[in-house]
Structure formats: structure tokens, C-alpha cells
Copies of this chain bind each other. A is one copy, B any other.
């Protein structure tokens, strides 16, 4: 049977489904330990509190087995939802909103795409944009529109113009330490955007996966908290960056009117999120000092970031980037090279970064790479930057 018969059987939407170079790269680097990877968005598992984790799993297995090893509520384990609301949700007037646990915030994006996006629905995105959002939304075939960004948030003139000219249905934004650009919206811009979205009655999908990763402990208010039309915002959070992606758990703060349809959609997706993980995570959160843990993560990542910044200044003074306020990445412009050539040649040297065009609707001619600093050790970062330096010098001279 021919392989191209496949297209006869696939739904039209599959034409829009895009694979992630990041995940393909992850596979290579996992299978070949000589690779140094600045590619993944991998939190550092060494920060996890082992003894507490032991205790929490032991408790789940011994004392909570009837709950932990059973089906659970589609919206998530109740106690976990409550602790998420108390510890992690910063919107105003949250009482009538529902906290729904999802299988990573990626699932939250998929559910919101399914709920809100018809074919040709206008969906506004930051440029560059988080690749996972493109993967989640694209199968629903919306009309994706790019917004020009500045270091402190959207270009407001551009935003106002788009919203006046087109009926934009929703705006997906990642306002804190954006992946990949590292831009962080100022409080002033959060307020102004909230007001513009209210005026044009646009749904906001606010992805705050990195919210707690500010290097100095600043916690930005959500854009949703400034909106008057409070039922038009969904806010997503994640445990992947502050605790571990291994739990595969995130949450969505869902406005009351959308609660039932959100939960019914979640049911169709996977019935409920991993119950064992939810119980373990709940007991972990109950017994650990999460504030202190987050501070530890913040200062560890701040140190890692400073180290990578130092290396780039030392070995690659030609490259340009803004010094981020938080998160796990640098967004680095490499002048006078092409992403494709650079990528091919660094892979030969067994070092990887993510090419910038992975995060764009329209390819840019200027070469950008996303560099992660949360995972590699200092010596590995130095070795990696030196390998990149060799390649870059070789290309531009």
C-alpha cells in the first residue's frame, strides 16, 4: 500500500498540524549524550525536594489509594484545585471562576482552541509566538494574525489598528518572560491592553506558564485582573516550570459561564488528568514551603542566566539579545547568518538551539535562536557556547 494513500483518509485539519522541531531535537539529544542542548525548556530536576516527594507518593499509595488509583473528576482533584486557587491565582474577584486542572497547560490550550476557534476565526498572536500554542490551535484552522511586540509588551498602535480593522475573536498572550522573546509586559501595558480588549470584546487567553520565574521575585498582575469584561479571560498556569514537567499538570482559570462546556470538552479529551500525580502534587504542596522553593528556583535560574549572558559577551560579542527579567531563555540574534546553515553546522558540532522561525507565522530573514539556560551545568554551557562560537566565526569569516 502506498504511503500517499494516507492523505485520502486524513481530515482536512491535519494539513495544518505542525510538528515541533524542539521535540525532534529533544529526541536526538536524549539518545546521544554527547549533545549539549540549549534547545529544551527543561526545568532542572535537581531542585525537586526528594524526601518530600517520597513522603507524598508513599502517602498517595498507602493512605489515598482508593482516590489516587481511580478515575477522578474531570475538572481535577478538589483539594488540588483549592490549593491552586489559594497559592497561584492572582486575578481579582476569582470567586466565581472555576479552576480546572489540565494535563499540562498545553492541554488547556488545546481545549481552548477546540472551544473557541472555528475555521477562519481571527486569532491574534504575539510575534514570535510560543510554538505549542501554534500546535494546539492550528488543527482548528483559525486565521492566525501576528502582532508586533516591544520589550515591554505589544505595540499599542498596532494592536489598536488590528482590533479596529478586523473582528478579532481572541488574543493569545504570554505576557511574562515570553517564550521565546523573553519580553515582559509592563503593568501599564497590561492595563491598556485590558481596556482595548474590553472595548472590542475580545477573549483573552493569558498563558502565565513562567509567571513565578522572575529573577528578583516580582509577581506581575494578570492582564485579566484589569478587565471589566471579566468573563472574557482565560488564564493558564503550569506546574512544569516551578516544580516538574513530570507531573504533567497545569490549570486554567475559567469564567463561570464557560465552566460546563470546558469540563465537558476536557472529558472528551482524556476523562480526567492523571489522578495519582494530582494526589502526590497536592500532598507535596501541602507540606512544602512553596514560596521558599520558588525563591530557590528563581535564584538558581538567575544565576544560570547571568552565567550564559557572561559567556555570550565573552565569546560571541556580535550577538544581540535583551537581558531577560525572568524565565528560562535568551532570545539571541545572530547577525549575518542564516538559521538553516547555522543550525546544520552546530548540529555537526553536537550542540543545539531552537531556530527562531519555529516560533513565527512568517519566516524572518534575521537569524534568531532560543537558548535555554535552566538545564546545562556551567561547564557544559561554556563548552556549548565555544562550539557555537567556532561555527559562527567559521560562517561569517
A interface, CB within 8 angstroms of B? 1, 3, 5-6, 9-14, 17-20, 23, 26-27, 30, 40-43, 45, 48, 50, 53-54, 57-58, 61-62, 65-66, 68-71, 73-74, 103-104, 106-107, 110, 114-118, 121, 132, 135-136, 138-140, 169, 203, 229-232, 240, 244-248, 257-258, 260-261, 263-265, 267-277, 280
Contacts and interface: CB of A to CB of B under 8 A. Distances in A.
Given A50-B61, A69-B48, A263-B19, A9 B268 contact: no
A42 to B, nearest CB: 6
- The A interface is mostly helix, strand or loop, or mixed, namely helix
Nearest to A47: B69
B11 A136 contact: no
A33 to B, nearest CB: 12
Tell me how many chains of this kind the complex includes. 2
A265 B267 CA distance: 18
A344 to B, nearest CB: 21
Contacts of A115: 10-11, 14
Nearest to A136: B268
A11 B140 contact: yes
Contact of A244 (B45, B69, B121, B272): B69
B257 A3 contact: yes
Contacts of A230: 1
Contacts of A261: 6, 10, 14, 17
B71 A245 contact: yes
Contact of A45 (B48, B65, B117, B267): B65
B23 A267 contact: yes
A232 B1 CA distance: 10
Contacts of A231: 1, 5-6
Nearest to A272: B248
A349 to B, nearest CB: 24
